[in-house]
Structure 1
Amino acid sequence: MPAATPERRALIGLAHKAAVLAGLSDDERKAVQRAVVGKESCADMTDTELRRLLWHYKGKGVQIGVPGPKPRGGAGWERPTPSQWAEIERLALSFGWADGLDDGRLASFVGRTAGVDAVRFLSRDGATRVISGLKRWQKSLSKRGES
């Protein structure tokens, strides 16, 4: 467990205040913390994890000030899983898009399907929509080829 510095106590206090402002019960707060950071207790979190939790609450509309810049990218729970990335790349290659995840044709499809500017901005839900769309497209092409 990290040392209890004044900054750390402030981060933990902000995390609890954000949960109250979000209207969460104690059990709901712990569930959110487990989903966002993987830990139920703020005391077990690192300062970086506490900031990630605070940015999560802020992203959900809770009006709090978060010390430090918003994290960029990363592998949080809302990001596509490694298996989703692998499936998207496999499907892209099956269409002959040789650059896989970096192919411009995939980027166009992702933009139309998930509404993001680039493949790297996909959320987990967006990745699911892209995978489903690519599979439907693949199936329609194979039906056309059979006729």
Structure 2
Amino acid sequence: MMKPATLYGLIHKGAQLMLVSLGVAPKEIDSAYRDWLHRKTGKRSCKELTSPQLDALVRELKHDGWLTDYRPGGRADNRPTDAQWRKLAALCHELDWGNGLDDPALDRFCMRTAHVASARFLTKALMSQVITGLERWIAGGHPHETH
């Protein structure tokens, strides 16, 4: 079990990455972070949370791709970078794919675009293709895929 201070740091880091990707201005990050935390937990500080609440937030941030140690499929040289995973997570969020990196709609898109069954099987190069494809799809005004 991780120490509470470690969990606080992970939560703050993941939430900050998420908020920046959503376009929150740097000077507004702290306020936006506390608002986000309050919506999630009813508290404005991690120090007010229980260990299970802290663990749940870290799991959610990892699941959604906002923590840099989330690399499905390993850390070999050809694996996607942390920045690529964060970008892909942001695109999933923009498309309202509620399960983030584990959403079936993303897997279907990966199959059509990169011919892999799941995002976790993407290489660095294939990840670039998927990101580019999603960006073009969004820019083209295509309707969001339903589940």
Structure with max Cα Rg: 1
TM-score normalised by L of structure 2: 0.46
